[in-house]
Amino acid sequence: MPDMQRSESPGRRDDSPARADERNAVRDELEGRLVRSGVLLSGSETDEQIVAIADAVEAFEAARSAAGGDSMINTPESSQPEDPHYVLPRRSDDESVEQYVIRVRDAAEGI
C-alpha cells in the first residue's frame, strides 16, 4: 500500500504527539477496513476523506444487510454475487473521493 498522508495540521489545539498517534492509528484502522472491503485508495486522501469514504461504505453495508444481502457473497471480488446491487461499487483510478462517496451513497439508497 502506498504511503498515506498523515494528519499533522499545525494550529490545532489537540496537536500533541499522543493525539497525532491516536489519529494515525484510527486512520490506519479505517484504511485497513476499506481495503479489505475492496475500496481503492490512492494514498493521497486526507483524514476527512478517509472518514467520508468509511461513512459511505458503512451506510452501504447497513443498507445491504437490512435488505438481506450477504456480505460474504456480495463482494467486489465475487464472480457470482446474489444480486449486483448488493456489491459495493468499485472506485475507478481517476475518481475523486467526492464522486465515489456520492456513488456509494446513491447505491446504498438504491438497495
Mean pLDDT per 10-residue run, the chain (111 residues)? Answer: 46 72 92 93 94 97 90 72 86 95 97 91
pLDDT per residue as tens digits for the range 1-27 = 444 444 444 545 567 888 888 988 999
Asked if 86 and 110 touch (Cβ cutoff 8 Å), the reply is: no
CA distance 50 to 40: 11
Whole-number pLDDT of residue 13: 54
DSSP symbol at 86 = G
Whole-number pLDDT of residue 74: 66
DSSP symbol at 28 = H
Whole-number pLDDT of residue 81: 73
Which residues 6+ apart lie within 8 Å of 97 measured at CB?
45, 49, 52, 53
Q: Which of 93, 89, 1 is nearest to 53 (CA)?
A: 89
> Any idea which residue has 439508497 for its cell?
109
